[in-house]
Chains A and B, each alone.
Chain A
Amino acid sequence: MTNSEIREEVLDILESIAPDEDLSKLDDDKNFREQLELDSMDFLDIVMELRKRHRVQIPEDDYMNLASMNSTVTYLTPLMKDIQKV
């Protein structure tokens, strides 16, 4: 997947976790927490959805990389570069 495909995928996951949030105004530099009503349970769901959909394993110590869209995509790029977009 390219960076923009990974971004699309993360957006899709966010939408499934928080269907009532307006994601169109998401600022990729800012923390998710500042912009969306996400708690620690929701962050776990981002990790779990990535595992469920793409078999990407993220160790607990790395969860902090999922703070904003940019940091998430940067972190996922090496892990997801060989995954085909479906």
Chain B
Amino acid sequence: MYDTIIIGAGMSGLAAGIRLAYYDQRVCILERHTTIGGLNSFYRLRGRDYDVGLHALTNITPKGTKKGPLARLLRQLKMSWDELQIAPQLGSDIVFPGVRLRFDNDIDLLRSEVANEFPAERDNFDRLIAAIVEYDDLNESHQAISARAKVAEFIGDPLLLEMLFCPLMFYGSAREHDMDWGQFSIMFRSIFLEGLGRPQAGVRLILKQLVRKFRALGGELKLRTGVKEIVVENGQVRGVLLENGEFLEGRRVLSSAGWHETMRLCDDGEPVTTRSSGRLTFCETIATLDVEPSELGHVSTITFFNDSDQFHWTVPDEPCDVRSGVICSPNNFAYEESDGGKAVPGTMRITALANFDFWQGLDEKNYRLEKLRWYDRITDSAVRFVPDYRSRVLDTDMFTPNTIVRFTGHDGGAIYGAPEKQLDGRTHLPNLFVCGTDQGFVGIVGSILSGISMANQHCLKD
């Protein structure tokens, strides 16, 4: 009999597991896939290491900071800042036709860039920042306010408004066209007011630290162990039936499988609610180069680009939307010699919105062909905004919405989950709870905090 059974060994499930195991619960994490991580994972291909998911961690505040999501996460998991080996970004930019806004982990750079490029908006931008600093993220009434309408109360220039939304939507909007003011404020803080960083060894370092911690506390982790059913008796979860036929008894279940996916697993015949699973999904191209991008003149950590004055955040009609994208070079972080990680080979990653139905509908042969075709189109689009690296490519790979489904099991390959979150993590059953992207915040720090807070609220107190 387990105290808590956790479905999914991604960031949220592992973090929840650490909290519960630390307080002496008998806890087991079940992962369908052969490896941990879910959306944020890693793999090895033709002798090279790759990351999926993580471009950078958001919410990066300097060592010793006592407030904010990162500080809270470290305290709750009893980890030290140094364990994550985070190197800050060198500097990123948002590029629209004729305008480039640079930003780094000090908001003053973005303030001065806005003042230079949009002189009339200088004071307006400062007033917007002040409103975001004051925003109380525990006040759920802000959920319903349109961020576009709210930001337009401060910012008069429509181009600047689009340029501010572009990175925040790319890094965490499950909603199309707009965000709610709360999510906008949280994302603005996490990217512009706090900042971006990355461990030299990538996401595997974070995942390995979490697993090591979980196991050291006596937690059990079962890979290649899919859940077939959440077994319900008399209105209570009694345990889970595994795909291998085994039954595990548990006093409660915490699921990071997604809201719909979790509801479908329940065998009590309760109708699945009709909320949308979220439709926003990505393709990403990855190129390994024979040089560091900086030698080609590319020093930006992340470049958010859009090729017209208006930014479109919705499911594209085309297989991929190459009008906009995110270019990430994992080389361009301020790694220190002593970080101990292997040097990162020259890498360029480009992320673009994708159409899930198109990619799911392909047979094996056409899937391969379309991957090659859209690898080229995405890359051709991106090199309009960064130095052309195409002649320096040693090896490439690409993920599509199909890859995301395979790793996460989430409907529609939805990267940021359902537009409507189940913020309290509760379900129709008293001892079944959800965590992860459909419960709360997105990104690595966000999903870890989701696991922590759901464990705290629902699994520790009895």
Contacts and interface: CB of A to CB of B under 8 A. Distances in A.
Interface stretch (B304-312, B322-330, B452-460): B452-460
Interface string A21-41: 000000000000000010101
Contact of A41 (B67, B78, B456, B461): B456
Contacts of A37: 66-67
Instruction: Name the residue among B64, B72, B75, B456 with the largest chain A CB count within 10 angstroms.
Output: B75
Nearest to B81: A20
Contacts of A16: 78
Interface residues of B, number: 14
A41 B23 contact: no
Nearest to A44: B456
B146 interface: no
Nearest to B73: A41
B64 A20 contact: yes
A41 B66 contact: no
Contact of B75 (A18, A51, A52, A60): A18
Nearest to A51: B23
A48 B342 CA distance: 40
Contacts of B72: 39, 41
Interface string B427-462: 000000000000000000000000011001000110
Given A20-B66, A37-B66, A37-B67, A44 B460 contact: yes
Interface of A: 16-18, 20, 37, 39, 41-42, 44-45, 48, 51-52, 60
19 contacts: A16-B78, A17-B75, A18-B75, A20-B64, A20-B66, A37-B66, A37-B67, A39-B72, A41-B72, A41-B76, A41-B452, A41-B453, A42-B75, A44-B456, A48-B23, A48-B460, A51-B23, A52-B23, A60-B461
